[in-house]
Amino acid sequence: MKLGIVGLPNVGKSTLFNAITNAGAESANYPFCTIDPNVGIVAVPDSRLDWLSGFYRPKKTTPAVVEFVDIAGLVKGASHGEGLGNKFLANIRECAAIVHVVRCFDDENVIHVEGSTDPIRDMDIIDLELILADAEMVDRRIDKAQKAAKADKKFLHEAQVFEGLKTWLNNGQSARTYLEQVDAEDAALIATSELLSLKPVIYAANLDEDGFAHPAGVGYYQQVADRAAAEGAQVIPVCAKLEAEIAELPAEEKSLFLDDLGIDQSGLDRLIQASYTLLGLISFLTAGEDECRAWTITRGTKAPQAAGKIHSDFERGFIRAETISFEDLKACGSMAAAREKGLIRSEGKDYVVQDGDIILFRFNV
């Protein structure tokens, strides 16, 4: 899963990204790696995997991971190449979702590129740049469809669909909201394009330490929350400065630090969980003495396709999935006890994998 972090300069975007990458570096179970100067991978927190690792004491524990891309250069005019806009807008196209960092604090020592703190204005600037970039792409799609229609009239409808979308975008509205205006077939056609404003959004409201402890009482945060609710998006309160401090702590000290703050999860953990919810993702688990591992799949995935996440041979030669829920295994204390109680199920090719399933796949090729 790849998430693109966007935002205006000086809103805390890079501070949050640095905290994320430090968190990855400190992960005991998954080695942090930098693919590119602005790309980092961090482990997905999963208490179930932690329990299995403590239970089996495997040679290796591998969590699911999230890839974060720090998209720099988004300022007014980015869609036309201002800053480093075109280059970094291209990076967003590869991401499954956008994390939009919005500044929700006043600090005279941190200059705001627009001169003042105004979350709605800042959100509008970023949204407009994504929409303008999309309008250029839609123009190219229309031109391509019109040329193809000279040989095959079926492309005339495609051109008409994207003409309607172009008008919508030119009115400053996102491609996401346009999908609500068309039927399922046309929506599927639009989804074949790599439009930025089609991507689901999580707003990361960057607060100062006092605001992070009580976000509901911060007017700036409420503005972002109201906007997110109207769009059907998610909003997560974060304190980028605090996340940077948390990321530098040893694992055993992190929970104590959070307890002192009166919160049970870091902003990063909540951000990752929100990403899973937004994208309809779940994790199933495999466990044993060699390795305990979490695997990310889309909710609704059937057993053979889940097996294919491990290896294509598992899907091709799928026989059955020996399955138990994590909660059942934990309650029983061992696989042997769970088997005696009949809690280990033999599931076939039509079984829809559930979040937290522990699975042993049987296959033959």
pLDDT digits (tens, 9 = 90+) for 41-77: 888 889 999 999 999 999 999 999 888 888 765 555 5
Contact 196, 133 (CB under 8 A): yes
Point out the residues of the chain with pLDDT beneath 50. 25-35, 78-79, 82-85
C-alpha to C-alpha distance for 309 and 148, rounded to whole angstroms: 37
pLDDT at position 28 is: 32
C-alpha to C-alpha distance for 206 and 122, rounded to whole angstroms: 13
Three-state secondary structure of 36-104: ECCEEEEECCCHHHHHHHHHHCCCEEECCEEEEEECCCCCCCHHHCCCCHHHHHHHHCCCCEEEEEEEC
C-alpha to C-alpha distance for 267 and 340, rounded to whole angstroms: 41
C-alpha to C-alpha distance for 103 and 13, rounded to whole angstroms: 9
pLDDT digits (tens, 9 = 90+) for 150-185: 999 989 999 999 999 999 999 999 999 999 899 999
C-alpha to C-alpha distance for 255 and 241, rounded to whole angstroms: 17
Give 78's Cβ-side CA count (13 Å radius): 27
C-alpha to C-alpha distance for 144 and 132, rounded to whole angstroms: 19
Residue 128 φ then ψ, to 5°:
-65, -40
Contact 239, 206 (CB under 8 A): yes
Contact 359, 284 (CB under 8 A): yes
pLDDT at position 86 is: 52
pLDDT at position 129 is: 85
Beta strand pairing call for 2-6 and 97-103? parallel
pLDDT at position 84 is: 46
